[in-house]
Structure 1
Amino acid sequence: MRPRKLILCIESNEQVLSVRKFLLETRGYRVVACASAAEALDYLQTATPGSIDLLMSDLLLPQMDGNELVRRAKQLLPGLPTLLVSGTVTGYDRAAAADAFLPKGASTPAEILDRIRILVARKRGPKKHVQSVTVPQRELAVAS
């Protein structure tokens, strides 16, 4: 059985955080829920590199916005995929620090889960390709 992927989920609204955590956990993800950017950064500083598969945060957070959180998270863990979500901002330019942006409310749970799946897969890196077997030119000449 494959280990479940870990998502660090940051949202200042407790109800939204609870719903998002439930959605992710019912799809097989492990979720660390944080109510603030400071709490998430504390968690990131003690995390083992490679243990977190995705940082998913609201763009508009008290004290520190999602862009700043993503910038600091990538300083700590440079390869960490990040996804910013916002209910009030529809333009990606406001969430330029993240790897992906989804407008809250305009994205269905299926779209959010699909984007998460893609970002988590990207963290693993590309699939290893089977090395192709090349036939030396003289063997081709003999066969013809």
Structure 2
Amino acid sequence: MQPEKKLFTFEETKQKLVSYCVYQDRCHLEVEQKMREFVLIPEAKEEILLYLMKENYLNEERFTRSYIRGKFYIKHWGKIKIKITLKQKGITEKLITKCFDEINDDDYLNIIKKVYENYFSKLKGLQLYQRKSKTISYLLSRGFEYENILQVADN
């Protein structure tokens, strides 16, 4: 059974979606999913989307840059994991590649090193090669590239 859809006027719905976009940067897919909560005809959905883009409440590049910064500098995700999640949100490969300049190359290696050392130091009672292997697997699961992990692990 589906939950009741909310009934609002066109202007109320538009204002709710503006608030939704102002609270945090959103991608088109998130806004379209949010719109499903409201009873709207397709023309109204289109008009609201155009309004949000025209007034710069909805900006795919700004969202992508913000998402990359947040997931890397706060969550310590690697580029592979960030790229996969952005693709799931409907962001184009071209835009993702363009926005990866948000991550400084030195910062990238430093974060890999920090996460590597942190995880490695928590593993107790294992042989050195087992600790190293588990740490590399962990970093791969965080979306870091194998070559970069090895570069850090070998130093």
Determine which structure has the larger strand proportion and give its number: 1
Determine which structure has the larger helix proportion and give its number: 2
TM-score for the superposition, normalised by structure 1:
0.26
TM-score for the superposition, normalised by structure 2:
0.25
Q: Which of the pair has more CA radius of gyration?
A: 2
Using CA pairs under 8 Å that are at least 6 residues apart, name the structure with larger relative contact order, 1 or 2: 2
